[in-house]
Amino acid sequence: MQVENYKIDEVNNTGISKHQRQFESVAEDIADVEAVLKKLSSFNIAIPSWALGTGGTRFGRFSGGGEPRSLEEKIEDVGVIHALNQSSNSISLHIPWDIPENAAAVKELAAQYGLHFDAVNSNTFQDQSGQKHSYKFGSLHHTDKAVRKQAIEHNIEVIKYGIQLNSKALSVWLSDGSNFPGQLNFRNAFQNTLESLQEIYAALPDDWKVWVEYKPYEPNFYSTTIGDWGQSYLLASKLGPKAATLVDLGHHLQGTNIEQIVSLLLMENKLAGFHFNDSKYGDDDLTVGSINPYQLFLIFNELVEGMDARGMDHATGLGWMIDASHNVKDPIEDLLQSVQAIKIAYAQALIIDKTALKAAQYNNDVALAQEILQQAYRTDVRPLVAEASLSNGGALDPVGAYRKLKIREHLISERGLKTVATGL
């Protein structure tokens, strides 16, 4: 389904005067509000193809209605999200969950919704039917060369799909690791991973990147071969300039200072981008900003500061993507909420008084530095985000508009109540 512009306008009209009052009130105190709005309007976050269906845990999965049954329907759902928020203009595919059988047709369909394709993701953490070798004991790090070869070939095949779709990056997340002490020789596992990645790296087109994701545990519970940013950074450095580290917010042990990791990776030009989500305990894949919005703001503070220091374009300089799972919410509502949370944190980071913060840091004025950060964090920037959306033709309140336009009800009547999307 296409969400027509006039329908969004109709919903916006009911809230426009309240919005204008709120916008003027917050805009008054912002030095260059036009520049902030411009940055917000051009900021987009990719939607993963695996997040459009209901997620599950190993204990169960409780399907919602109207889930997308095909890649085409997933594109349609991202089209709905983008029509409402004007900030989700790309989709990231997971192969083989979403194989583009006819790339030209898939690209054309996406273009109808104003979408393009972001990074392609490989999958060597599951065995597919008919697969010769099992990934039970890992893939790129495996002791058996034949298993490694199969996993390398899969990644090269994913790059080939991506080329057809005009993607520009391969995103690799490995579940390779060990469950028990003694199971694995860490050095061999790391070296095998490096050599496998080198072969994949050699297959990258000139204008492509490979993003190396890390994660401390799960599904393996003793060691993960790419377990933290140090291990990812080491691989990315040894691989070369086309390789960089991807930060998934849920892939850190509790209490980790993620903003500091981000700052240093950016400084070294080794930050590939993000998988946004939120978590209370681990890789919980919860809605962005639902648990710890202050951390998200601190991360964006480092991002804006670090990207400006390198003269990078905020919108295109890094890969921005959501990686979440929706076990109890409508996935589209959840994704809309996540994008809003990201834009709110970004807007708050944009309005930090950077000159004053620099001076406070230089003078070791700790209390003032905190005041400056929290002044921005405690500003309700939602009217700025709404204004940016409005100027692009999006909804003032994307979730509200989604409900008012009864989009899920439409999708259920089109697709049925008992549909199941591919993914985890």
In the complex, the smallest distance separating the C-beta of residue 273 from ligand AFD, rounded to whole angstroms, is 12
Q: Which of 148, 275, 314, 408 binds Mn ion (CB under 5 A)?
A: 275
For 141, the token pair is: 């790090």
Q: Does 118 bind ligand AFD (CB under 6 A)?
A: no
Q: CB within 8 A of 289, min separation 6: which ones?
A: 278, 296, 337, 338, 340, 341, 342, 344, 345
Residue 90 interface partner, choices Mn ion, ligand AFD, none, CB cut-off 5-8 Å depending on type: none
Q: Which of 209, 270, 275, 326 binds ligand AFD (CB under 6 A)?
A: 275
First to last CA, the chain: 25
Residue span 39-58 as binding mask against ligand AFD, x where in contact by CB under 6 A, dash where not: -----------x--------
Residue span 161-200 as binding mask against ligand AFD, x where in contact by CB under 6 A, dash where not: ------------x---------------------------
Q: Can you tell me whether residue 46 is helix, strand or coil?
A: strand
- CB-based contact 97:423 (threshold 8 Å): yes
In the complex, the smallest distance separating the C-beta of residue 327 from Mn ion, rounded to whole angstroms, is 14
Tell me the CA distances in angstroms from 9 to 20, 79, 154, 205, one per residue in order: 15, 17, 45, 42
Residue 424 interface partner, choices Mn ion, ligand AFD, none, CB cut-off 5-8 Å depending on type: ligand AFD
Q: How many CB atoms lie within 10 A of CB 273?
A: 21
Residue 291 interface partner, choices Mn ion, ligand AFD, none, CB cut-off 5-8 Å depending on type: none
Pairing of strands 177-178, 223-224: antiparallel
Count of chain residues binding ligand AFD (CB under 6 A): 9
- CB-based contact 256:292 (threshold 8 Å): no
Q: Does 82 bind Mn ion (CB under 5 A)?
A: no
For 151, the token pair is: 């996993």
In the complex, the smallest distance separating the C-beta of residue 202 from ligand AFD, rounded to whole angstroms, is 23
Handedness of CA 196, 163, 303, 295 (dihedral sign): negative
Q: Which of 283, 330, 334, 387 binds ligand AFD (CB under 6 A)?
A: 283
Residue span 296-325 as binding mask against Mn ion, x where in contact by CB under 5 A, dash where not: ---------------------------x--
- CB-based contact 423:123 (threshold 8 Å): no
Residue 118 interface partner, choices Mn ion, ligand AFD, none, CB cut-off 5-8 Å depending on type: none
Q: Which of 98, 118, 248, 387 binds ligand AFD (CB under 6 A)?
A: 248
Q: Does 424 bind ligand AFD (CB under 6 A)?
A: yes
Nearest CB to ligand AFD, comparing residues 282 and 317: 282
Nearest CB to ligand AFD, comparing residues 41 and 171: 171
For 210, the token pair is: 């490979």
Q: Does 118 bind Mn ion (CB under 5 A)?
A: no
In the complex, the smallest distance separating the C-beta of residue 367 from ligand AFD, rounded to whole angstroms, is 38
Residue 50 interface partner, choices ligand AFD, Mn ion, none, CB cut-off 5-8 Å depending on type: ligand AFD
Q: How many CB atoms lie within 10 A of CB 339?
A: 29
Q: Does 274 bind ligand AFD (CB under 6 A)?
A: no
For 220, the token pair is: 């393996």
Residue nearest to ligand AFD according to CB distances in the complex: 173
Q: Can you tell me whether residue 232 is helix, strand or coil?
A: helix
Nearest CB to Mn ion, comparing residues 285 and 330: 285
CA–CA distance, 288 with 340 (Å, rounded to integer)? 9
Per-residue HEC secondary structure of 371-398 comes to HHHHHHHCCCCHHHHHHHHHHCCCCCCH
Q: Does 209 bind Mn ion (CB under 5 A)?
A: no
In the complex, the smallest distance separating the C-beta of residue 215 from Mn ion, rounded to whole angstroms, is 6
Task: Calculate the dihedral angle through the C-alpha atoms of 394, 399, 404, 405, rounding to the nearest 10 degrees.
Answer: 60
Nearest CB to ligand AFD, comparing residues 383 and 423: 423
Nearest CB to ligand AFD, comparing residues 41 and 54: 54
Type of residue found at 39: K
Residue 113 interface partner, choices Mn ion, ligand AFD, none, CB cut-off 5-8 Å depending on type: none
CA–CA distance, 325 with 288 (Å, rounded to integer)? 11
Exposed e or buried b per residue across 371-393, where buried means at least 16 C-beta atoms within 10 angstroms of its C-beta: ebbeebbebebbbbbbbbbbeee
Q: Does 334 bind ligand AFD (CB under 6 A)?
A: no
CA–CA distance, 209 with 273 (Å, rounded to integer)? 11
| Sites for Mn ion among residues 236-255 (CB under 5 A) | 248, 250
Q: Which residues bind Mn ion (CB under 5 A)?
A: 248, 250, 275, 283, 323
Contact footprint for ligand AFD (CB under 6 A): 50, 121, 173, 213, 248, 275, 283, 323, 424
